[in-house]
Structure 1
Amino acid sequence: MTLSSLSDRPSSPPVGDGVHAPFPSSGCVDATFYPTAEKGEFEGYASLFGIMDLGHDVVMPGAFRDSIERRGAPGVKLLWQHDPMQPVGIWRSIEEDSRGLYVRGALDLGQGKSREILSLMRQGALDGLSIGYRTEIERKDPETGLRRLERIDLWEISLVTFPLLPQARVRSVKARPARRMNPYFSR
């Protein structure tokens, strides 16, 4: 084993606990994360159209359009558990498609919390996305209490442990690429 192969290994992320501040008007969605090797990149749906969450909210198609045009991906924060004191990366792209709000993000691996989050994502222990927003236009059904969100001012999208929408779970995580084994150590 050479000194350079030792220095190529990622350091262990520090263990710590964040302050969790739930966002009162958040919705969650079916998310698929694809962390890419050592870069901390992932992607998935941060919101799905037409699906009721546990707060009786349903995001309608086009709800994010104005906010995305106004803010763009750089204007929407990537937070840990909706805590404004814990930004953990950046959104590379945020776009609506026919299914929902599709996002591509990158964790800042220069900070320990982000390395810990990436490790949890790779293990399947962390598997949710949740949106933080202000409702601009809504329609509420007085009989059912269902709230249709027609226009949303999107402030942030968080990586979360417990998403508000039960289906909001990671379905697959790309594994770290295999390291080449020194032939001396192989059988």
Structure 2
Amino acid sequence: MERKEAATKHRAFDLSLKAKPDNAGHFSGYASVWDVVDSYREKVAPGAFVASLAETAAKGRTLPILWQHRTDEPIGQWDVLKEDQHGLYGEGTLWLDEAPYARLAKRGMGAGAITGLSVGYYVKDSSFDETTRIRTLKQVDLVEASIVTTPANDEARVDTVKAKLAAGETITEREFERLLKDRGFSRSDAAAIADGGFKAWAAGAGQPHQATNAGLGDLAKALAGFSLPKL
């Protein structure tokens, strides 16, 4: 049965460049490679992007290249995104004249110092192997692809935090703060709540209703509906 997860997810890759950005900002490479298990024990199956790419093309749209997943910092567009036998192949153009970060990306990619790509997507269909404990992404809605300075950026680690909670493992205060931001808190509110309430929350084994600090009221409400992704 088809299932679409509500939250946008980020998946980080090493951007395998076939052609470094030229003077006009054109570059090409692979944004994803098939059947490679990442640190989250997930892999992408061939065909996962086909329906999403077709729908985007039918609407006459192109997907943006963002800088570090910042929706207010588009630095280019993907001119070509298609699947082949190796993975998801892309050809992009950086907006060198209009976007300052595009020039930074070009310089870093050319020098081999910026090699990360992180895609934003919704999971529509996946499967989980109980024996290998590996999740296979079978169909996703691709919404953007960002150039990132390091592939394993903090925002992409939110799923790892949730996996730790599911396994009963201890999380750090910083991971707790990222979880709050994932639940919709602003950066400043998440930092303040994590600083003042992390110990109380952790002492309650991650159960918000056990916290007695009145300042955690909003936290309890926000996490009351928290549930881990179904595998």
Mapped to 2, the partners of 1:113 and 1:83 lie a distance apart of: 11
Aligned match for 1:47, one of 28, 32, 38: 32
Aligned match for 2:79, one of 74, 92, 107: 92
Local SS of the residue matching 1:114: helix
1:1-187 to structure 2, matched below 5 A, reads: 24-32=9-17, 34-72=19-57, 74-110=61-97, 111-164=99-152
Residues 125, 88 of structure 1: alpha-carbon distance in 2 compared, 3 angstrom cutoff: same
Mapped to 1, the partners of 2:88 and 2:43 lie a distance apart of: 13
Identity %: 34
Taking structure 1 as the reference length, the TM-score comes to 0.70
Local SS of the residue matching 1:106: strand
What is aligned with 1:18? none
Stretches of structure 2 that go unaligned for 5 or more consecutive residues are 1-7, 153-231
RMSD (CA atoms)? 1.9
Q: Give the count of matched residue pairs.
A: 142
Local SS of the residue matching 2:140: strand
Alpha carbons 1:47, 1:131 under 8 Å: kept: no
Structure number with the higher helix fraction is 2
Taking structure 2 as the reference length, the TM-score comes to 0.57
Local SS of the residue matching 1:156: strand
Deviation at 1:144, TM superposition (A): 3.9
Q: Deviations over 1:95-129 (max 9, x none)?
A: 00001000000000122111111111111111122
Mapped to 1, the partners of 2:33 and 2:20 lie a distance apart of: 21
Amino acid at match of 1:121: M
Local SS of the residue matching 2:122: strand
Q: Per chain length, whose mean CA-contact separation is higher, i.e. which structure has more relative contact order (CA < 8 Å, sep 6+)?
A: 1
Amino acid at match of 2:65: L
